[in-house]
Amino acid sequence: MEIETNQDWLRALRAAGLEQEEALKDLRQRFLHTFRTYLGKSQGDRRALSSEEARQLAEDCAQEALLKIQEKLGSFRGESQFTTWATTLAIRILLQELRRRRWKDLSLRHSHIGDHPPDWPIEDPKSQDPEKALQQDEVWQIVKRIIQEDLTARQRYVLVANVFQGMPLDLIADRLGTNRDNVYKVLHDARKKLKRCLTKRGITQEEILHIFEITR
Amino acid sequence: MNRGKFRQLIRSIFAVKDQEMLCSEFFDILPRFVDRQVAGEEADKLFPGVSHHLQQCPECNEVYEALLKAVQSNKETPKK
Protein backbone atom coordinates (compact mmCIF):
# COMPACT_ATOMS: atom_id res chain seq x y z
CA MET A 1 0.00 0.00 0.00
CA GLU A 2 1.30 3.46 -0.92
CA ILE A 3 1.99 5.64 2.11
CA GLU A 4 1.00 9.16 1.10
CA THR A 5 -0.12 11.46 3.88
CA ASN A 6 1.65 12.44 7.08
CA GLN A 7 -1.06 10.63 9.02
CA ASP A 8 -0.36 7.45 7.03
CA TRP A 9 3.31 7.67 7.90
CA LEU A 10 2.74 8.27 11.60
CA ARG A 11 0.20 5.48 11.85
CA ALA A 12 2.41 3.04 9.98
CA LEU A 13 5.53 3.84 11.97
CA ARG A 14 3.65 3.55 15.26
CA ALA A 15 1.97 0.32 14.22
CA ALA A 16 3.43 -3.06 15.06
CA GLY A 17 4.34 -5.82 12.64
CA LEU A 18 4.18 -5.73 8.88
CA GLU A 19 2.80 -2.19 8.50
CA GLN A 20 5.72 -0.70 10.44
CA GLU A 21 8.17 -2.94 8.67
CA GLU A 22 6.93 -1.76 5.26
CA ALA A 23 7.13 1.91 6.29
CA LEU A 24 10.70 1.49 7.56
CA LYS A 25 11.64 -0.32 4.36
CA ASP A 26 10.20 2.51 2.28
CA LEU A 27 12.09 5.15 4.27
CA ARG A 28 15.30 3.14 4.10
CA GLN A 29 15.06 2.95 0.29
CA ARG A 30 14.47 6.69 0.07
CA PHE A 31 17.50 7.42 2.28
CA LEU A 32 19.77 5.03 0.39
CA HIS A 33 18.74 6.62 -2.91
CA THR A 34 19.40 10.12 -1.51
CA PHE A 35 22.76 9.09 -0.02
CA ARG A 36 23.95 7.34 -3.18
CA THR A 37 23.00 10.33 -5.30
CA TYR A 38 24.81 12.69 -2.93
CA LEU A 39 27.94 10.54 -2.64
CA GLY A 40 27.99 10.00 -6.41
CA LYS A 41 27.98 13.73 -7.08
CA SER A 42 30.31 14.88 -4.31
CA GLN A 43 33.71 14.73 -5.99
CA GLY A 44 35.77 15.09 -2.82
CA ASP A 45 33.92 12.29 -1.04
CA ARG A 46 34.00 10.11 -4.16
CA ARG A 47 37.78 10.39 -4.23
CA ALA A 48 38.11 9.69 -0.51
CA LEU A 49 35.79 6.66 -0.34
CA SER A 50 35.97 3.36 -2.20
CA SER A 51 32.66 2.18 -3.63
CA GLU A 52 32.44 -0.45 -0.87
CA GLU A 53 33.11 2.19 1.81
CA ALA A 54 30.47 4.45 0.28
CA ARG A 55 27.94 1.59 0.22
CA GLN A 56 28.69 0.71 3.84
CA LEU A 57 28.52 4.36 4.91
CA ALA A 58 25.12 4.75 3.23
CA GLU A 59 23.80 1.60 4.91
CA ASP A 60 25.08 2.63 8.36
CA CYS A 61 23.72 6.17 8.09
CA ALA A 62 20.33 4.94 6.82
CA GLN A 63 20.11 2.57 9.78
CA GLU A 64 21.08 5.33 12.22
CA ALA A 65 18.53 7.68 10.62
CA LEU A 66 15.72 5.14 11.01
CA LEU A 67 16.49 4.74 14.70
CA LYS A 68 16.64 8.50 15.19
CA ILE A 69 13.33 9.02 13.38
CA GLN A 70 11.56 6.45 15.54
CA GLU A 71 13.05 8.10 18.61
CA LYS A 72 11.97 11.61 17.50
CA LEU A 73 8.60 10.73 16.00
CA GLY A 74 6.80 12.53 18.82
CA SER A 75 8.53 15.81 17.93
CA PHE A 76 7.17 15.82 14.34
CA ARG A 77 4.54 18.57 14.33
CA GLY A 78 3.12 17.94 10.88
CA GLU A 79 4.20 21.35 9.57
CA SER A 80 6.05 19.87 6.60
CA GLN A 81 5.81 16.71 4.54
CA PHE A 82 6.80 13.81 6.78
CA THR A 83 9.30 12.57 4.20
CA THR A 84 10.98 16.01 4.04
CA TRP A 85 11.30 16.07 7.83
CA ALA A 86 12.70 12.52 7.87
CA THR A 87 15.09 13.19 4.97
CA THR A 88 16.42 16.28 6.78
CA LEU A 89 17.39 14.11 9.75
CA ALA A 90 18.92 11.48 7.48
CA ILE A 91 20.99 13.98 5.49
CA ARG A 92 22.24 15.61 8.67
CA ILE A 93 23.46 12.22 9.89
CA LEU A 94 25.27 11.48 6.60
CA LEU A 95 26.89 14.90 6.35
CA GLN A 96 27.93 14.88 10.01
CA GLU A 97 29.71 11.58 9.41
CA LEU A 98 31.30 12.80 6.17
CA ARG A 99 32.53 15.97 7.89
CA ARG A 100 33.95 13.90 10.74
CA ARG A 101 35.86 11.77 8.22
CA ARG A 102 37.05 14.77 6.18
CA TRP A 103 38.31 16.37 9.39
CA LYS A 104 40.18 13.19 10.39
CA ASP A 105 42.31 13.66 7.26
CA LEU A 106 42.52 17.45 7.45
CA SER A 107 43.50 17.53 11.13
CA LEU A 108 46.77 15.73 10.37
CA ARG A 109 47.94 18.85 8.49
CA HIS A 110 47.68 21.03 11.58
CA SER A 111 49.99 20.68 14.52
CA HIS A 112 47.94 23.18 16.55
CA ILE A 113 44.18 23.50 16.25
CA GLY A 114 42.65 26.96 16.46
CA ASP A 115 45.94 28.53 17.37
CA HIS A 116 46.67 31.29 14.88
CA PRO A 117 45.54 32.37 11.39
CA PRO A 118 47.68 31.27 8.44
CA ASP A 119 50.52 33.47 7.17
CA TRP A 120 48.76 33.56 3.81
CA PRO A 121 45.02 32.78 3.53
CA ILE A 122 44.56 31.24 0.10
CA GLU A 123 46.06 28.32 -1.80
CA ASP A 124 47.09 30.53 -4.74
CA PRO A 125 50.35 32.50 -4.47
CA LYS A 126 50.42 36.28 -4.17
CA SER A 127 49.77 38.39 -7.26
CA GLN A 128 52.54 38.57 -9.84
CA ASP A 129 52.04 42.32 -9.97
CA PRO A 130 54.45 43.53 -7.22
CA GLU A 131 52.25 46.49 -6.27
CA LYS A 132 49.18 44.28 -5.91
CA ALA A 133 51.18 41.65 -4.01
CA LEU A 134 52.19 44.36 -1.53
CA GLN A 135 48.57 45.48 -1.11
CA GLN A 136 47.46 41.89 -0.57
CA ASP A 137 50.11 41.43 2.07
CA GLU A 138 49.17 44.67 3.84
CA VAL A 139 45.45 43.81 3.99
CA TRP A 140 46.09 40.28 5.18
CA GLN A 141 48.47 41.51 7.89
CA ILE A 142 45.67 43.80 9.15
CA VAL A 143 43.12 40.96 9.19
CA LYS A 144 45.61 38.69 10.96
CA ARG A 145 46.40 41.34 13.56
CA ILE A 146 42.69 41.82 14.32
CA ILE A 147 42.27 38.05 14.73
CA GLN A 148 45.29 37.82 17.02
CA GLU A 149 44.83 40.99 19.06
CA ASP A 150 41.15 41.96 19.07
CA LEU A 151 39.31 38.63 19.21
CA THR A 152 38.95 36.77 22.49
CA ALA A 153 40.84 33.47 22.78
CA ARG A 154 37.56 31.55 22.30
CA GLN A 155 36.57 33.60 19.23
CA ARG A 156 40.02 33.10 17.73
CA TYR A 157 39.92 29.34 18.40
CA VAL A 158 36.50 28.89 16.76
CA LEU A 159 37.28 31.12 13.76
CA VAL A 160 40.68 29.61 13.03
CA ALA A 161 39.62 25.99 13.64
CA ASN A 162 36.42 26.24 11.59
CA VAL A 163 37.17 28.72 8.84
CA PHE A 164 40.88 28.27 8.19
CA GLN A 165 41.45 24.68 9.28
CA GLY A 166 38.06 23.16 8.35
CA MET A 167 37.08 21.67 11.72
CA PRO A 168 33.29 21.06 11.76
CA LEU A 169 31.14 23.12 14.15
CA ASP A 170 29.82 20.00 15.93
CA LEU A 171 33.35 18.75 16.65
CA ILE A 172 34.41 22.17 17.93
CA ALA A 173 31.35 22.10 20.20
CA ASP A 174 32.39 18.66 21.50
CA ARG A 175 35.92 19.84 22.13
CA LEU A 176 34.75 22.96 23.96
CA GLY A 177 32.13 21.02 25.92
CA THR A 178 29.26 23.06 24.53
CA ASN A 179 26.68 22.86 21.74
CA ARG A 180 26.67 23.92 18.08
CA ASP A 181 24.45 26.98 18.67
CA ASN A 182 26.95 28.35 21.18
CA VAL A 183 29.82 27.78 18.75
CA TYR A 184 27.86 29.56 16.01
CA LYS A 185 27.28 32.50 18.40
CA VAL A 186 31.02 32.73 19.09
CA LEU A 187 31.73 32.70 15.34
CA HIS A 188 29.06 35.36 14.84
CA ASP A 189 30.67 37.57 17.51
CA ALA A 190 34.08 37.08 15.88
CA ARG A 191 32.68 38.23 12.52
CA LYS A 192 31.04 41.27 14.12
CA LYS A 193 34.33 42.28 15.71
CA LEU A 194 36.23 41.77 12.45
CA LYS A 195 33.69 43.86 10.56
CA ARG A 196 33.85 46.64 13.16
CA CYS A 197 37.66 46.73 13.19
CA LEU A 198 38.00 46.60 9.39
CA THR A 199 35.34 49.28 8.90
CA LYS A 200 37.11 51.47 11.46
CA ARG A 201 40.24 51.25 9.32
CA GLY A 202 38.21 52.17 6.21
CA ILE A 203 38.58 48.74 4.63
CA THR A 204 35.58 47.48 2.65
CA GLN A 205 34.52 44.09 1.33
CA GLU A 206 34.83 45.30 -2.26
CA GLU A 207 38.36 46.54 -1.63
CA ILE A 208 39.53 43.23 -0.15
CA LEU A 209 37.97 41.19 -2.95
CA HIS A 210 39.45 43.55 -5.54
CA ILE A 211 42.93 43.41 -4.00
CA PHE A 212 42.75 39.61 -3.88
CA GLU A 213 41.60 39.64 -7.53
CA ILE A 214 38.34 37.87 -6.66
CA THR A 215 35.82 39.32 -9.05
CA ARG A 216 32.83 36.97 -8.96
CA MET B 1 41.53 27.71 1.55
CA ASN B 2 40.57 28.23 -2.08
CA ARG B 3 39.41 31.57 -3.49
CA GLY B 4 35.74 30.62 -3.21
CA LYS B 5 36.07 29.95 0.51
CA PHE B 6 38.07 33.14 1.01
CA ARG B 7 35.32 35.11 -0.76
CA GLN B 8 32.75 33.39 1.51
CA LEU B 9 34.80 34.40 4.58
CA ILE B 10 35.04 38.06 3.56
CA ARG B 11 31.37 38.22 2.59
CA SER B 12 30.28 36.57 5.84
CA ILE B 13 32.23 39.20 7.82
CA PHE B 14 30.66 42.16 6.07
CA ALA B 15 27.16 40.62 5.85
CA VAL B 16 27.00 39.92 9.60
CA LYS B 17 23.83 41.17 11.33
CA ASP B 18 23.29 41.96 15.00
CA GLN B 19 20.75 39.16 15.32
CA GLU B 20 21.09 35.98 13.31
CA MET B 21 19.23 32.69 13.22
CA LEU B 22 21.01 29.86 15.05
CA CYS B 23 21.65 26.44 13.48
CA SER B 24 19.00 24.70 15.64
CA GLU B 25 16.38 27.29 14.62
CA PHE B 26 17.41 26.82 11.00
CA PHE B 27 17.01 23.03 11.15
CA ASP B 28 13.60 23.42 12.76
CA ILE B 29 12.40 25.52 9.81
CA LEU B 30 14.33 23.79 7.01
CA PRO B 31 11.78 21.04 6.06
CA ARG B 32 8.98 23.64 5.78
CA PHE B 33 11.25 26.03 3.88
CA VAL B 34 12.18 23.37 1.31
CA ASP B 35 8.60 22.11 0.92
CA ARG B 36 7.40 25.65 0.17
CA GLN B 37 10.30 26.28 -2.18
CA VAL B 38 9.67 23.07 -4.15
CA ALA B 39 5.97 24.01 -4.30
CA GLY B 40 7.05 27.23 -6.04
CA GLU B 41 6.13 29.54 -3.16
CA GLU B 42 8.27 32.44 -1.99
CA ALA B 43 9.90 30.62 0.90
CA ASP B 44 12.37 33.49 1.52
CA LYS B 45 9.52 35.82 2.39
CA LEU B 46 7.66 33.25 4.46
CA PHE B 47 10.70 32.41 6.56
CA PRO B 48 12.86 35.53 6.94
CA GLY B 49 16.35 34.87 8.18
CA VAL B 50 16.77 31.49 6.50
CA SER B 51 18.51 32.77 3.37
CA HIS B 52 20.86 34.88 5.47
CA HIS B 53 21.74 31.87 7.63
CA LEU B 54 22.42 29.87 4.45
CA GLN B 55 24.90 32.53 3.36
CA GLN B 56 26.59 32.66 6.74
CA CYS B 57 26.78 28.95 7.58
CA PRO B 58 28.33 26.71 4.88
CA GLU B 59 27.61 23.56 6.89
CA CYS B 60 23.87 24.30 7.08
CA ASN B 61 23.95 25.30 3.41
CA GLU B 62 25.39 21.89 2.54
CA VAL B 63 22.43 20.18 4.26
CA TYR B 64 19.98 22.52 2.51
CA GLU B 65 21.44 21.84 -0.96
CA ALA B 66 21.33 18.07 -0.45
CA LEU B 67 17.77 18.19 0.93
CA LEU B 68 16.49 20.41 -1.87
CA LYS B 69 17.87 18.01 -4.49
CA ALA B 70 16.40 14.99 -2.70
CA VAL B 71 12.93 16.52 -2.39
CA GLN B 72 12.97 17.79 -5.98
CA SER B 73 14.08 14.39 -7.24
CA ASN B 74 11.37 12.66 -5.19
CA LYS B 75 8.77 15.01 -6.63
CA GLU B 76 9.96 14.43 -10.19
CA THR B 77 10.15 10.63 -9.89
CA PRO B 78 6.80 9.18 -10.99
CA LYS B 79 5.20 6.87 -8.45
CA LYS B 80 5.08 3.21 -9.41
Look at residue B80 in the predicted model and tell me its pLDDT.
46
Lowest mean pLDDT among A69-73, A85-89, A104-108, A116-120: A104-108
Among A83, A122, A151, most B C-beta atoms within 10 A, so best to mutate, is A122
Q: Which of residues 136-155 of A touch B (CB under 8 A)?
A: none
Between chains, do B2 and A122 touch, taking CB under 8 Å as contact? yes
> Measured between beta carbons, which residues in chain A are less than 8 angstroms from residue B62?
95
pLDDT at A201 > cutoff 70: yes
Which member of A87, A188, A205 has the closest CB to residue B14?
A205
pTM here? 0.92
Look at residue A112 in the predicted model and tell me its pLDDT.
86
Q: What is the dihedral of CA B31, B35, B41, B43, to 10 degrees?
A: 10
> Measured between beta carbons, which residues in chain B are less than 8 angstroms from residue A121?
1, 6, 9
**Contact (Cβ atoms closer than 8 angstroms) between residue A9 and residue A3:** yes
For the stretch A126-181, pLDDT in tens is 888 888 889 999 999 999 999 999 999 999 999 999 999 999 999 999 999 999 99
What gap in Å lies between CA A122 and CA A126, rounded to an integer? 9
Look at residue A1 in the predicted model and tell me its pLDDT.
60
Distance from the B71 Cα atom to the nearest Cα atom in chain A, whole angstroms: 7
- φ, ψ dihedrals at A103, nearest 5°: -65, -35
CB proximity B76 to A under 8 Å: no
Mean pLDDT of chain A: 92
CB proximity A9 to B under 8 Å: no
Lowest mean pLDDT among A16-25, A38-47, A110-119, B30-39: A38-47
DSSP state of A114: T
